[in-house]
Each structure stands twice: as structure tokens, then as C-alpha cells.
Structure 1
Amino acid sequence: MITTRNDYLARSCCGKHGHIHNMTPLSEEDSKKLFFNRIFGSKDACPSELSKASSEILKKCDGMPLAIITMASMLACQQTRLEEQWEYIQNSLATKFSTNSNYEDMMYILDLSYKNLPRHLKACFLYLGSYPEDHEIDRVELVRRWVAEGFVSDSSGQDIWDVAESYFNELVNRSMIQPIYDDFVLRTISGCRVHDMLLELIVRRCKEDNFLSLVSDKQAMVEVQEKVIRRLNVVGLQGTKDDKVAVNTVGNVAWIRSLAILGELNWIPSLLEFKFLRVLSLHVSYRHDGAIDLTVINQLSQLRYLMVEGDCRNIMLPFQIQGLRLLETFDFSRTFNYSSISLEIVDAPHLSHLIMPWGTRLPDWIGKMKSLRTLRGFSLPVDSLESIIGLGELTALSELHLVYPNGRAGLVLKATWMTALSSSLDKLCNNLKQLVLGPHGQVALRADALSLLSPRFGNLEMLDLQLGHTFSRVPRWIGHLRNLHNLRLGAKQLLQADVDMIGTRLPSLVDLSLRIPRVLTENITVKGSTGFPALKRFIFDCDGISFLTFEEGAMPKLQVLELYSNTKELNKVAPSGLQHLPKLVKFTTNEACYSCKWRRRTKPTDGTLIRTTVFQEPADAVPTRRTFTHDALGRKILRPIEEEDYSSEED
């Protein structure tokens, strides 16, 4: 299927037996519903004094959904809903719309929304022009680049990174960007897209204001000649030497503050010419053996953001990065063949985010990076305590994602090593929000030493100790993490008291994953009085799923239930009480269990029909009756799952 606004293109693409479907505008009733729901939460909640102005505004939108939602989002963000403000917008549309085409009318509405943005959001919005059409823009990358560019102000005394996140959320609320959800159940936003018409507006504005230059073809190269450019983005010049030409056509690269190259990179100019560079972002790939020389980055004293993505076999870095006193982000997380390179970073007092490929050895100097907020990808060395102890010095850390080394080394860790790790983690309790510890490979590691951790992680929102960590049982200190949203845990046994503790003492928990490698020793009942008031997803990997019972009132907001076990267990008896889960929209059973290694050698059997019989009756009893799924060999679906199934549920 091809979508286009160009009628000639549609006819050209349409085959002899094809069909061109012309989208019809929304009806007046549907237009009102979309408009008023966005502003007031209900189509019947519009105040009478705004009725006339709203009718005129809707008339100008002419049933175009993008125009309606853009105008509604703009009006919804007004601090007050005065009749004069609405009439002003109505009159602005009336004077402009009298002689224009629908396309120009739409662009005017979008431009009006841009003009109505607060000053602090305009630069952030135009910066989206750095990315090509239909590109999925990573949220974390975007906000870090905003900070590096100086678009985010911390004058209010708030944390600058929190302010940057609020800017992103405000653009989402104004419908200026389309959020991309990496998890429809938890509604977590991983990034965004820009509607093609809004991108046209951005590109037009960027040219008028000389805000940034996007070079994606030879025509664009001509346009940047002799211009004073502060932000240069080279996109999609793949398989040619045009990337070299593109930068060479710029009159004076010394003025450039931001350089981003997306695509196949054959060459970059000498970075010494970029005296005032603040942002360097390279999304690279190769078809030749040339090298990308970054050894001179120590002389870029203004550099705040460095991100490299791609194959790093031919990327040259200095052995020691020093003198970059303004550096905030060093991100090599999406590179290959880099973890073996020895690197030292010194004299970087503002470095907040250090992200490396998984398995990069944690360096002994890590304790000196006291401003770090994000530390990801490093492997904990088993032959050094200095780096483990150094972790305890990083008291500003908000996100800590580490792995253990794979192979036999991970199985012979000494008690002193585990004690040092526990002690260091204990010192991070004030600011830490995410803690992930897992193996770099398929190594099982006893984690009882971590049971001695202090329960003072008052701000912890995500805890993942699931893969490679087998507690004797659920540690009691977890019950003190009252702000926990996401818990992934592995334990040798699960008792009723453990379930009761998690359900009653973790009121904010929305995502729970438990992996139990043994058959349960007692029946487990999720009681109506046990709690789990906010839980939306429950993943249970155990040989005893038939021991599980849900009472009436249990997990009142649960939307997704995933059960993993061996084939014999899945063909036995289904958990009891599925009919007591009123919000359940997806129920999955699968024999691909990860708790025990031997199960990976178990061949699937012809248990599909048995399992269908075992699980169909309880699945039929689920109030929503939306989705019922077996593994890849045997699926039975009551109704296809849709994004709306999640988004429409009560938060």
C-alpha cells in the first residue's frame, strides 16, 4: 500500500486492477469529538462562551485530522481559556484562509501552532530538522543533544536533564511530535517521529532562520555554499564521495557548532577545523578499509556531546581523552568491535552519561567520574577490586546497568568481591533510579551476597536482578523499595509470604517478572487483599504454574499475563481464577523457559491440542476475552491485539 498526497504519483503507482482510495474529511460530528476530547476530555464539555469560536475554528480545519488535533493541542496548552484568545485565533485563520488552497491552509495552521510555542520550545522543535523524514528519533539521544546545544535552561533551579525531558513531553502534549512507545502496556516512550507536513514546516523555517542545514543531495550542497552554517547534518549520501564534497562546500566550518552524519561514512574533515564544535554525532557504516580519525578530539574544547554508532574497527581514538572539560555525553553503546580498546577519560568534570558496548571492562579510574548520572555497558572485572570500590564514589548515578563477565571467571567470584560490590551499591542509594545487573553470556551466578544490600534505595524505580542471579528466596529488603515500578528477579523458591510482601509493600509496581527454576513447594494465591494495585504485566517463569491461583480482586489492572514452563506442566492444569482478572487483554503461554538450561534442549511436542483444551476454558472466562496465545507451534487467538487495547485502559 502506498500513501501520498500527490494524485499524479498515486495514478502512476496504481496498476491496471489497482484502486485509488481518496480519504474523505472527518464529518462535523467526528471533528467536534476529536477537537473537544483533546481540549476538555469530552465532546460535551465545551463552555457555551467558546462554542461560536470553536465552530469557526473547526470550519477552517475542514475535517483534516492533523489540523484539528494540532489546533486542539495548541488550545489545550493555553494556561487560560479566555474567549478573547480563541477569537484571536479564529480571526487569524479567517484572514488567511480566504484565498488559499487546502494545503496552504494546513501549513498555515501548523505555522500558527509553531508561533504559539513558548520560546524555549521553538529551538527544540526546529532541531528535529536534523533527522530525515520517517526517521525514528531516539528520545534519550534527542534530549541530550538539546542540552549540549544550550537549548535547555536550568534557571529555575531544576535539574537540567529533568527540564529537557519536560520539553520533550510538552512537544508530545502539543501533538508537535508523534511518540513511539517501546512498551504499549507500560506506555513508556522510546522516541518520536515527525509528521511529514510538520517536517516540511521545520525545513522551511530552518532555511528562513538559517537555524540548521540538512544536506541530503547535490542540490542541497549548492544551497549551503558560502553560507554561515552553525549546524550541519549530512544525511543519506551513501556509497559515494558526496559526504566529503558536502562538507567541503561549506564556506567556513569554524562556525559550525553541530556536525551530524547519518549514513555510509567514507570521510570526515579534519576536526581541528571545527574550533567551536559542541555536538558530534556519527551514525556510520563502511564498505572500505579507510579509517575515521578522531584522535584530535582532545583539542575540541567546546565539545559537549560525542556519539558514535556503527562498526568501530576503523575508528581511531586517543588512548587518553583529556581537556574536554565541558563534555557531558560519551556514547559508544551502539558500536561494534570497540570493547577491547583501552580508553581513559580524565579531566571531564561535567561528564554525565558514559555508555559503552556491553562487555567493556569497567576501568579502575571510574571512581573519579563523580558527575556521572548514567553508566551502562561495562563488565565488572573479577581480578580487580579498585573499579568495584570506585563505583561507590559515583553518588550522583541515576542509571547503572552492568554485566558480569562470561565464562568460568564469573563462577569463582570471591566473597570479598561480592561484599565490595554490595558496599558500593549501598552508597548509591540516594539518587539511583535504575539498577540492572546481569551476566555477559549465559552464566548463572549465586546472588545471596546481594541479600545483604541496604533497603535504603528510596528512589529506585527499576530493579533487574533476573538473569544470572539466583537468590535462595526473595530478599526481604525488596519490600522497602516503595517507589519500584519494574522488578525482575530470579529465586530458587517462591513462598506465599514472598508474593504477599511484593503485592502489599510495592504499591507502585507495574511490571513484575519472576523466574523460579524449581517446582513450587506450596500453592501460591494472589489474594484480592494482597495488593498489586498498579500491576499491568506479570511474567511468571516456573515449573509450577498449576500451583498459581488468582482470587477475586487480585491484580485489578493486570493487562498482560505471560506464563513460561515445561511442556508437561503446560499440558497439566491451568492457573485458577483467570476470570478474576477484569482488565486482562493478553494471555500467553510458552514452553520456551529460560530459568533452566536443560529446557533449551527440550524439543517441542505435540501438546498443542492438549494445551488448547487445558487453557481454553479459563481463557474463555476472562472478562475481556481479547487474546489467547500459545507458543509458535500452536496459537489460538480470540481477537487480535491492538495498540488501542492498551492505550484505552485506565492508567
Structure 2
Amino acid sequence: MSGAGKSGLVWNIYCKWRTSNNSWKHAWASVSHPFNPTDFSRNLLLHLLPKSTSSEERYYKAHPAKDPIQECQHLLHEHVYLVVIDGLQFKEDWDWIKSNLIGSGGLRSCIITITSEESVGKHCVVSSNNAVVHNIKGLEADAALELFKKKCMLYLSVFPQDRIIRRRRLVWRWIAEGYSKGTDSISMEKYAEKLFDEVSALSIIQPVLKASKVIGYRVNGFFREYIISRPVEERVFFPVEVSALGRGHGRLTTEGIGQHLAVGDSWDVDRVVFEGLDFSRLRSLTVFRTVFWPWYVPDRMRVLRVLDLENAEYVSNYAFEKIMKLLPRLKFLSLRGQREVSRVPDSVGELMQLQTLDIRDTSIVALPPCITRLQKLQYIRAGTTIAFTQDDSLSAGEHSTPLSRRSNAMASRLLARFSRRGPDGSCRNGVEVPRGIERLKALRTLGAIDVNTAGDATLSEIRSLFRQLKKLELFMINRKISGWFLSHLFVAQHLESLSMQFEKSDHFVHWDYISLPRSLRSLKMHGHVEQLPRGIEYLGNLLKLTLEKTTLFTPDDIEVIGTLRSLRTLRLRVNKDQDGELQYHSSLFSKLEVLEIVCKSKLRVRFDIDAMEKLEQLKIHCLQGSEMQFSGLEHLFSLKQVWLMGSIDDALKVALEQQLVKHLKKPAPKLEVEPRSSQESSEESN
């Protein structure tokens, strides 16, 4: 049974035994797949060599000109060893090990093999004398939850205290590590989210807020430092072993690398020392704020499951392509934010265990055909993140001052530097997908996809995935394809999150034949939207709604949105350059907690008595040229904070302060001001 904790149990026993039995030598070796006799023997030899030699000496002694197979056989018969062979999958592999390393008779050593295949375990017993098979079974549900929770807590020590961690990043890493066990009634993703919530409730990870919005989490610094600073003799008894290469934590030996390794920028890079380390049990490698070199992934990392380069300082196409050939068991791969990476190598198509591929905010504009071979792939995030509050007027300068024109020119150069462009030079926010995408039957998250570059056959394949997806992000939707393509959304009965960007230069989309799935919990619509989707008022599970319209929101629009019984967060953006009014009546938005308005026109917003009785956060984002006016803030009984952001108008600030002073709630709601110069993206991009 995979994931039952066989290796962890044997490792704990192995560590206790080696500290109490000095007369016996010991060695631990993992079997790579496919099995390579020379690599296995060289890996085993690293442990069989005397421990008195340094890491560097042992490394070079294990790579001599003579045959490492003969050297292993000689040592095993000359000395008494406890040898653990982990990850044995095939009978033929054991037959080779027994025939070439152990031999028949005369061996005084004890050999322990760990396998998930019952037939392999029994084969080892039949072919050996005095052998016993132990079947390790999984824990009951409650006991398993407590163990996985403890593992997740210790796992957090991978991340430095100053790193902001996305929730989705942790969830999918835990899934790849085997900490989440799905059942018939709950998926692995839901189980991992439950673990996240329980660990978060213990304050081991703490939310990071931006304008009262959770943008990520940080690890409790005291907790991490305590775990990392424990001596190796203590950490071997933890259910999760984390090693860190950084200031004060770089004293590692060939036995010092456990299951997880974090490389930080404060580590004094030493290639010789690094290549001398034993990576036979390493399951995850995370790089922070330092250049990622290809030699960080030697050919001995055969059991690596997680490679997280999201916070690396620099990753090149060359490094990306080279390491992909060495990681056959990889389940989680993240290059998020690595702008220098512009292509996915064909070798990624050989990662048959891959579950998560995160290439968000890279320069990759197309997924290769090889991606369709990854039958276990569940999560694809690509494309670039769009800021809902981005001021489009940055590129305009018709009536700007010389100073603003210089600022706009600088912004344009920066955008040009970091924008992702396709072969035709056009700016893209989504990626092109290949034919055959429909073969990914395990896929649950897909985005962002540039549907405008896809042919009819590819669009049909994407449409066939609607039934299985939970999260979908589509870009560059135009009127030509919107009708027949989006008309099949009604079959997406499992879809919980949908994001759509429509071409701004195209005519508006007709919603007459398009029905949104009622399972939606989050809906985002950007670009050229002139009318609300038909039947939006029937989305009873909708919690978050983001709408960008090219026309003003009419009273009918507000009434329709206001009837959504579960809506908690509403974000509205009005791009029309004309006067208008938004009026919120008392009978609408009964459960709304957060309202955000982005506008560049002379918009008047009015709240009636008893309007939005549960509203706690009001966020006002003024784009360039905005002259918004608000009235009735004193009627918002539950209001706690008002955020004023963007191109702030002093008159608006004074007017808001005057209304908040009159508020019945004491102390009165706070007005927080965040000018453009200090703003950062506050959207957590999952």
C-alpha cells in the first residue's frame, strides 16, 4: 500500500538502531526507476564507506574508475551491515541485487526491503532464508488526520519567515507529498484544504493582509527556527525531516539530508559539498532568492516529488530543460514568476506522475503537445495575472503633463519588458493549448487559456473538459466563438470558479443561449461586457463576483445582482467615461460583506437606509480622471473600514471622513488611504 508510512517507520527504527549499535555498520539506499544497477551500487557505496571520512572524500571514493558493484559486494561480505533498500518495485530488480551484491551464503548482514507490491515482498521471502514479511496498513481516518496534521505543521519549516505563501501552493504540495488522502465523499484537494484550515487555526501560519484582504500566509518564525535548529539526532524522530542550506544552517553531512531541502540566499554556495550530499531520500527541493543552477538537481535525486522554484532568483531555459530529464517521479513543478523561462521542454512529457504544473507569470505562451501524455495531471496554471484595478489610462497622454508623460513612458517600457508576447508580437495573458488536451481526464484546474488562438478542433476538446473541471480561466473571448463555445458551460456541473476575459475591441457578447452552471462559487468577467449573463440571478452558490463593464450598471443590473442570496464579495469596475449613479436599496445584498468599486468617471454612489446591513469593508479605487461621490455611508450599520486607493481626490477624502464621523457605530469606521505609489497587487493568484 502506497503512502502508509512504511519508509518513515523503517527510517525511525533505523535511526534508533544505529545510535545504539556501534558494532554494526549501516546503509540506506533507494531504488531508482527505471532500475540502474550502477547508480544503485554507487548510491549504496556512499553509505557503506567508513563514516570517518568527509563528505567530499566519500563522494569521490564512491565514483572511482573501478566497478562500484564489485566494491559493494566486497564490503557487504567483509563487514556486518544493516542495509535498507527502499522503493523496490519489481522482482527482477531484487533478483539482480541478490545475485550481484548479496550472493548465496556467507553474508552476516541484515537486509530490509521496502516495497508497495505484495508480490515483490513475498518473492524476496521465497528467495531468501529466515526472511519475514510485515504488512504495514493505513491508519484509521481520525488517527490519519492527526498524523497528517503534524506532518503538515513540520513541513512548513521549509519556508522562511519572510516568505508569503499562497494557500493553493501549499495545498498542492501536500497532495504531491501524500499528506492528503481522498475518500469516496471528499477529494484529495478538499482534504488538503481541511488540513490547511486546521493548521492555520493553530497560528503556525498566519494570514498576511493587504487592504483587509488575505494575500497569503507566513510561517510563525519562532516555530520554524525551533524546528530547523534541532540537532540531527532529534530531527530524525520527527515524522517530517527538513534541512536548510542558509546562514547558520549549512552544516550538513552526507547523512544530514532528509526528506526536504530548502536552499536560501544566505548559503555560501559550494558545489563540491552540495554534490557530496546524499539525496537518495530527498522528496522536495525548494529554492529561495538565489540563482538556480542545473547542478542543484543531480542524477541522484531519483525520488524527488516536489520541485518548487517559485521564489528562486533566476531560472534559465537551459537549466529547466536539463533537470527535467532527471526527475521521473516528480509530482509538483512550479516555475511561477520566472520570466526568463519561455518554453516547456519535451522532456516534461515524460513526467508520468506529474499532478501540478504551475508556470504562471512566466514567458511561456504555448503548452507543448507532449503535455497531453500526462494522465495524472490535475492542475495547470499558466498565463499572466491581470490586476482588476489596473489603470488603462497609463498609456494615454493626450492631455497629460510633461511629468505624467515621462511617468507613462517609463510604465510603458516596464510593461513592454515584462509582457508576454506571442509569435505575432501581440500581448497575451493566456497560453495556447495543443490538440489532444481532452486526453487529460484527471484535470481539474485549467487556466489561463487563450481561446482566440485555438482552432475549432482544439476548442471542441476544451469544451469536452467542461464536465470535469472545477476551475477554468479563459482569455480573448470574442463574439465569433462565444456563442457555440460558451453555450456548453451548462454541462460544467462541477465548475466552482470561472474567469472570462472578453476582447475589448469586439462587439458585445449575446447571452441568450449561454447558461452558467449553478455550481459556481466565484465568477469573474473582464473586458468588453455590456450586459449581464442570462440567469445570473439563479447562481445561488455564488460567493464572489467580479464584473467589469463598458457601460454603466443600470438599476436593473444592481437589482439582479442584489438578489444573489449567498454573495459575500462584490467587485465592480465601470469603464464608461460619463456621469452615472449607483443606488443600493435596503432589500438587496443581504449577506454582502465586501464591496469594491473601481471607476474612472463621475460616478455617484448612494446607500439607502438599511442598505447592505452586513457590509464590513468598502474599497474605493479611483482611476485617473475619476470624480466619484458617495452618500449614505452612515447607513451602513456593520461597516468597519473604508479603503481609498489609486488616484486619490482630496475632496473625496474629506467627504468620506465627514460621513464616517456621523456613523452611529462607535468607534466610527476607519478611513484607510493607500496612494498609488505604495500600492501592490493584493490579489492572491491561486
1:91-123 deviation digits (Å, cap 9, x = unpaired): xxxxxxxxxxxxxxxxxxxxxxxx999222111
Q: Which amino acid aligns with 1:235?
A: G
TM-score (norm 1): 0.65
Structure 1 gaps, min length 5? 1-114, 405-409, 593-603, 635-651
Match of 1:479 in 2: 537
* Alignment check: 8 A CA contact 1:295 1:317 kept: no
Q: Which amino acid aligns with 2:640?
A: V
Question: Cα gap change, 1:562/1:213 in structure 2, threshold over 3 Å: closer, same or farther?
Answer: closer
* Alignment check: 8 A CA contact 1:368 1:393 kept: no
1:396-432 deviation digits (Å, cap 9, x = unpaired): 211222322xxxxx8xx452x122331343332x111
* Alignment check: 8 A CA contact 1:432 1:460 kept: yes
Among 487, 497, 511, the alignment partner of 1:434 is 497
Among 363, 366, 390, the alignment partner of 2:437 is 366
1:337-366 deviation digits (Å, cap 9, x = unpaired): 333674631322221111123232233332
Match of 2:194 in 1: 166
Match of 1:496 in 2: 555
Match of 1:525 in 2: 583
Question: Cα gap change, 1:135/1:312 in structure 2, threshold over 3 Å: closer, same or farther?
Answer: closer
Identity %: 21
Match of 2:593 in 1: 535
Question: Cα gap change, 1:229/1:367 in structure 2, threshold over 3 Å: closer, same or farther?
Answer: same
- Matches of 2:277 and 2:676 in 1, distance apart? 58
**Partner SS for 2:335:** strand
Q: Which amino acid aligns with 1:377?
A: A
Counterpart mapping for 1:46-445 below 5 A = 118-155=146-183, 157-181=185-209, 184=212, 188=214, 190-197=216-223, 199-201=225-227, 203-204=229-230, 206-209=235-238, 211-217=240-246, 220-227=249-256, 229-237=258-266, 241-242=269-270, 244-251=271-278, 253-262=279-288, 263-269=290-296, 271-283=298-310, 291-295=318-322, 297=324, 300-309=327-336, 311=338, 313=340, 317-319=344-346, 321-335=348-362, 337-339=363-365, 342=368, 344-358=370-384, 359=429, 360-382=431-453, 384-394=455-465, 395-404=467-476, 413=478, 415=480, 417-428=481-492, 430-438=493-501, 443-445=504-506
Tell me how far 1:224 sits from its aligned partner: 2.8
Q: Which amino acid aligns with 1:452?
A: Y
* Alignment check: 8 A CA contact 1:298 1:322 kept: no
Match of 2:635 in 1: 580
TM-score (norm 2): 0.62
- Root-mean-square deviation (Å): 3.8
Tell me how far 1:190 sits from its aligned partner: 2.6
Tell me how far 1:289 sits from its aligned partner: 7.9
**Partner SS for 1:190:** strand
- Matches of 2:643 and 2:205 in 1, distance apart? 33
Residue 669 of structure 2 is aligned to residue 626 of structure 1: yes
1:189-232 deviation digits (Å, cap 9, x = unpaired): 63332232454146525354484342324875543324573333
* Alignment check: 8 A CA contact 1:296 1:318 kept: no
- Matches of 2:487 and 2:468 in 1, distance apart? 16
- Matches of 1:316 and 1:274 in 2, distance apart? 23
- Matches of 1:484 and 1:123 in 2, distance apart? 34
- Kindly indicate whether structure 1 or structure 2 has the higher relative contact order, using CA contacts under 8 Å at least 6 residues apart: 2
**Partner SS for 2:563:** helix
Question: Cα gap change, 1:119/1:476 in structure 2, threshold over 3 Å: closer, same or farther?
Answer: same
- Matches of 1:125 and 1:452 in 2, distance apart? 48
Residue 581 of structure 2 is aligned to residue 555 of structure 1: no
Question: Which segment is superposed worse, 530-539 or 474-483?
Answer: 530-539
Q: Which amino acid aligns with 1:425?
A: L
* Alignment check: 8 A CA contact 1:494 1:520 kept: no
- Matches of 1:632 and 1:354 in 2, distance apart? 35
1:306-347 deviation digits (Å, cap 9, x = unpaired): 112454646885326334332110112143x33367463132
Tell me how far 1:162 sits from its aligned partner: 0.4
Tell me how far 1:290 sits from its aligned partner: 9.1
* Alignment check: 8 A CA contact 2:358 2:380 kept: yes
Structure 2 gaps, min length 5? 1-142, 385-428, 678-686
Question: Cα gap change, 1:121/1:245 in structure 2, threshold over 3 Å: closer, same or farther?
Answer: farther
* Alignment check: 8 A CA contact 2:599 2:621 kept: yes
Q: Which amino acid aligns with 1:387?
A: T
* Alignment check: 8 A CA contact 1:392 1:427 kept: no
- Matches of 1:245 and 1:265 in 2, distance apart? 16
Residue 528 of structure 2 is aligned to residue 464 of structure 1: no
**Partner SS for 1:363:** coil
